[in-house]
Amino acid sequence: MGLFTEQEQEQISNAISSAEKATSGEIRIAIDKYCEGDAMERATSYFSKLDMDKTSRHNGVLIYLAHVDHKFAIIGDSGINRVVPPDFWETTKVAMSAHFASGNLAQGIIAGIMLAGEKLATFFPSQGDDINELPNDIVFMDQNQQR
C-alpha cells in the first residue's frame, strides 16, 4: 500500500478543489519519501518545478512533505506572502503537526489545505474569470527514490 489510501488521496484532492472554489489561488501537494537537507529548500525547488510561480496572481501555495524523514514545509508565492501575517505559515505548520504527531498524515495535509484556502479566499476571492491553473492531485516527486 502507498502512503495514502485511494480514499485519502481523493479526500485531499477534494479538499484542494473545495478550498480553490472560494479563491483565485492555487494549492498543490508534493510528497517525497526522503529529504536530505532543509525541507524549505526542497519545497522552494519543487515550487518552480511544478510551475507554481507562474500563476496569474502569484498566489500559489505548496505543501511539501518528506514522510520517511518527518519533514515538511509550506511555501507561498509572492502575492500571498505579501498579505498574510508574518507567522501564518508557522501557525499552519503547528496545526498540521498535531495531526502528523498522531499518525494521521492525510488529515494534517487537509488541515493545511483548509487554512491556506481560508487565507487565499480572504485576500484573493474567486473572480468570475477564474480557471484552475494547476492540477489538484498529489504529486509524488520521488517514486523511485532510494536511500
CATH number, domain containing residue 42: 3.10.310.50
Per-residue confidence band for 18, with pLDDT thresholds at 50, 70 and 90: very high
Residue 147: inside a domain? no
pLDDT tens sequence across 42-88: 999 999 999 999 888 899 999 999 999 999 999 999 999 999 888 88
pTM (2 d.p.): 0.92
**Taking 90 as the threshold, does the pLDDT of residue 142 lie above it?**
no
Q: Cβ(136)–Cβ(39) under 8 Å?
A: no
Q: Which helix (H) or strand (E) holds 60?
A: strand 60-66
pLDDT tens sequence across 77-123: 999 999 988 888 999 999 999 999 999 999 999 999 999 999 999 99
Predicted confidence at residue 147, as pLDDT, reads 46
- Structural domains counted in the chain: 1
**Taking 60 as the threshold, does the pLDDT of residue 144 lie above it?**
no
What is d(CA 29, CA 67) in angstroms, rounded to the nearest whole number? 12
What is d(CA 119, CA 22) in angstroms, rounded to the nearest whole number? 10
Cβ atoms within 10 Å of 74's Cβ, excluding its own: 22
**Taking 80 as the threshold, does the pLDDT of residue 140 lie above it?**
yes
CA atoms lying within 13 Å on the CB side of residue 104: 12
Give Cα 118 distance to the centre of its chain.
Answer: 13
Residue 145: inside a domain? no
- Which domain covers residue 64, as residue numbers? 6-140
Cβ atoms within 10 Å of 99's Cβ, excluding its own: 17
